[in-house]
Amino acid sequence: MGHDITQLKQSVDAQQSLLQSIYDGAETPIFAVDVLAADRYQFASFNQVAERNMQVAPGSLVGQQPNESVVEKYNACCESGQPFVYEEYLQFNEQDTWWLTTLNPLRDETGQIYRLVGTTIDITRRHQAEVRLQEKAAELEQALTQLKLTQAQLVQSEKMSSLGQLVAGIAHEINNPVSFIFGNIGYASEYVEELVSLLQLYQAQYPQPTPAIQEHADAIDIEYILTDLEQLEGSLKVGAERIQSIVLSLRNFSRLDEVDMKPSDIHAGIESTLMMLHNRLGATDRPGGHGEIQVEVSYGQIPEILCFPRQLNQVFLNVLTNAIDALEGQFYSDTPCSTTASPSPDSLNPNKPPTIWISTHLTNGGVEIRIRDSGPGVSVEDQPLIFDPFFTTKPVGQGTGMGLGIAYQIVVQQHQGRMSCIAQPGEGTMFKIWLPQ
């Protein structure tokens, strides 16, 4: 028996021709992958748009195995049995392209997945636009950070300028009367010596004073006065010299007339900064407060350094203030420390006074200043952030997070130096500042 299936065959061929025309005429790249076995796949077909976009000859990829990176995507689609979407990077003729691909699994009459049909969209322009947006966002974020840092530096510079003007004014006002006092101490001493010699001459010539004179001499204890006058003269001279030293430190710290780089004595800058912080270094009567903070210095033989003296004084002020905050944080339960690390038991030992060590020495063609404290140190998590602008572990209102950041900028950018922090939780913190000669 025979049946004429010509029309059926023509109809099937027409449908296949229609599907092929749709397949090849689609503007979206389409491809098919045969599932051979677990982790084994083979390209079955590509429409004309896909081959044209990949710039390959028609049918040249059919029967080839996909690379391992794509096989992982095919496995994921087969395991889920659901459409699978992924992005991939491809390079054609040394041109970078990005594609968004959707895999759709096809099942046979037994329900097994035998083929994956993929459609893909060229998202190169979108990806490039996203990259540009990310770069622009990074640039804007960096510009914003730099703007905030510049603003903070301007505010800090204005504060330092105002402080310098105030200090310079106070130093000038104190210097005049102190100079007058110091200049006249010698004359006063000479006059007192002459009066004492005259009194002794009277005592020698008139050994028997009248009762009234003897009574007055006993009342004022003339012998004690004559003995104490010499010590009093020395004390006045020491006090006047101390005030002159303080005035000199104040003038060295302010340095209002030094806006350009010039050779400067680093030790003088450190000493003047310590003078400004003298009140904070002293003992406190606050309950649970610390005793006097000990400052131990070890200065090496170093030359004058070409630098901006005022700005370096600001660096020393910021670092030393941070050290004092850390030491105070060990003893004040309501005063935050500049770190988040828990202090070691030894650091709270009342027999171990809070201490700051300062040393200088020549190294690697420059001068290195080390400032170390016996505070609680810095936690491992905070160490990489310690010089970041606006980073602080203090509560809001008790720290701006700009002190060490500004110090770092002054040392690195304005002096082409280096600044680093070495710290261990419970073992204190040390800042190293290296400045070129």
> Going by DSSP bridges, is the β-strand pair 294-298/355-363 parallel, antiparallel, or unpaired?
parallel
The predicted model gives 238-248 an average pLDDT of 76
Nearest alpha carbon to residue 255 among 164, 147, 339:
164
- Measured distance between the N- and C-terminal CA atoms of the chain, rounded to whole angstroms: 110
pLDDT computed for residue 360 by the predictor: 93
**What percent of the chain shows pLDDT beyond 70?**
76
CA distance 190 to 169: 33
Neighbours of 304 (CB within 10 A): 14
Helix axes 222-254, 124-205, angle to 10 degrees: 160
Under the banding of pLDDT at 50, 70 and 90, the label for residue 368 is very high
pLDDT computed for residue 298 by the predictor: 92
Q: What is the pTM of this model?
A: 0.51
pLDDT computed for residue 61 by the predictor: 83
pLDDT computed for residue 192 by the predictor: 83
Residues 296, 355: contact at Cβ < 8 Å? yes
pLDDT computed for residue 352 by the predictor: 59
Residues 421, 326: contact at Cβ < 8 Å? no
**Residue with more model confidence, 31 or 348:** 31
Give the lowest-confidence range in 208-217, 237-246, 326-335, 383-392: 326-335
For 104, phi then psi, to 5°, come to: -120, 120
Is residue 88 classed exposed, middle or buried when 0-12, 13-18 and 19+ CB atoms within 10 A define those classes? middle
Sheet holding 418-423, edge to edge: 294-298, 355-363, 366-373, 429-436, 418-423
Beta strands in 194-277 (DSSP E): 262-264
User: Average pLDDT of the chain?
Assistant: 78
| Tokens 């794509």 found at | 70
Nearest alpha carbon to residue 368 among 319, 305, 429, 275:
305
CA distance 381 to 71: 40
CA distance 117 to 33: 6
| Tokens 């659901």 found at | 82
Is residue 170 classed exposed, middle or buried when 0-12, 13-18 and 19+ CB atoms within 10 A define those classes? middle
Under the banding of pLDDT at 50, 70 and 90, the label for residue 19 is low
pLDDT computed for residue 231 by the predictor: 79
CA distance 269 to 267: 5
Nearest alpha carbon to residue 371 among 428, 302, 291:
428
pLDDT computed for residue 158 by the predictor: 60
What letter would DSSP give residue 385? Answer: G
pLDDT computed for residue 341 by the predictor: 38
Is residue 410 classed exposed, middle or buried when 0-12, 13-18 and 19+ CB atoms within 10 A define those classes? buried
> pLDDT tens-digit profile of 408-430?
888 988 889 999 988 877 778 89
Q: Is the pLDDT of residue 293 over 80?
A: yes
CA distance 20 to 184: 115
SS3 call for 103: strand
pLDDT computed for residue 317 by the predictor: 87
CA distance 319 to 279: 16
Residues 422, 326: contact at Cβ < 8 Å? no
Q: Is the pLDDT of residue 3 over 70?
A: no
In Å, how far are 175, 192, 228, 330 from 232, measured between CA atoms? 22, 11, 6, 42
Give the lowest-confidence range in 1-10, 109-118, 322-331, 390-399: 390-399
pLDDT computed for residue 433 by the predictor: 93
What letter would DSSP give residue 54? Answer: H
User: Cβ contacts of residue 286 below 8 Å, gap of 6+?
Assistant: 332
Give the lowest-confidence range in 28-32, 59-63, 93-97, 113-117: 93-97
CA distance 339 to 283: 22
